[in-house]
Structure 1
Amino acid sequence: MEEALFNDLFLNMVQLMPLFRKKLGPAYDRVDRVDKILKKNQIGTVMMVGHNGQMTSTMLGKCLDMKKGSLTTLIDSLEEKGFVYRERDKKDRRKTWIRLTEQGQNYRQEKYRLLKQEYAEILSNLSDKEVQELHESIVKVVNIVDKL
């Protein structure tokens, strides 16, 4: 890769996360504050497990950048509240899957509904053309980053 291209790419990638947090983060904060049922890490866990359908604690730990001990405590708390359950893999008894309960699924759906409303409000400041360009760009970024 050409050095100038790499440097520009690097600077834009470093700029993306803080920009995302600044512009879209408040939407997540508002949705998180709607109820005080779960804490931020618990909400993130419910959303992540629901998105994937099921996850092992190792997979979840990598996604949330959490150590095993903290993650076990987090999963235990969600299990006690009735949002997730653990199930041993039928083919590999060493593996345990974390899945959402019906309560967890309902909670996740409501959070997504509220977040979708927040995003609609944020995106209403853009023209239809800009929304289309944003959509196409994000699809490309997700597909490319997924290959890394």
Structure 2
Amino acid sequence: MALPILAPVAGRVVAMTDVDDPVFAGELVGPGLAIDPARDAPAEVVAPVDGTVAKLHAHAFVVETADGRGVLVHLGINTVQLGGEGFTLLVAEGDAVVAGQVLVTWDPAAVEAGGRSSVCPVVALDAQPGSLSRHARPGDGVAAGDPFLEWV
């Protein structure tokens, strides 16, 4: 069954191979795309799919669908080093969420001011290569909640 995945943040689409992190660029945890976020502060991050918040950190979360597929959204690169500073969580681990629901707010400009990349990888965890179709292409602009990927 095809699973539509929404863009969790507004910004410009970036190829995963262009993400400045070898795990994401090599698609070692799964395929996807990334988004270079708009610098509006605060920025809202929405659930990419309907499901349950399976993992939640200030800088990253996984939403698991009813059929067991997980979608990882990572807010910036090396942002774990911030210890949650600059991120506001609006849900808790274990919460049921719907696609498009605001889960986190953050300030991408502040992340960059601290010397880190604010690029946001969106990953279909453990998906097979070729299992994603892309509704957005690198260079495209997207709004939070726009059709982004489809997991087939």
Q: Please give the TM-score of this superposition, normalised by the length of structure 2.
A: 0.24
Q: Which structure has the highest helix share of the two?
A: 1
Determine which structure has greater relative contact order: mean sequence separation of CA pairs < 8 Å that are 6+ residues apart, divided by chain length.
2
Q: Whose Rg is larger?
A: 1
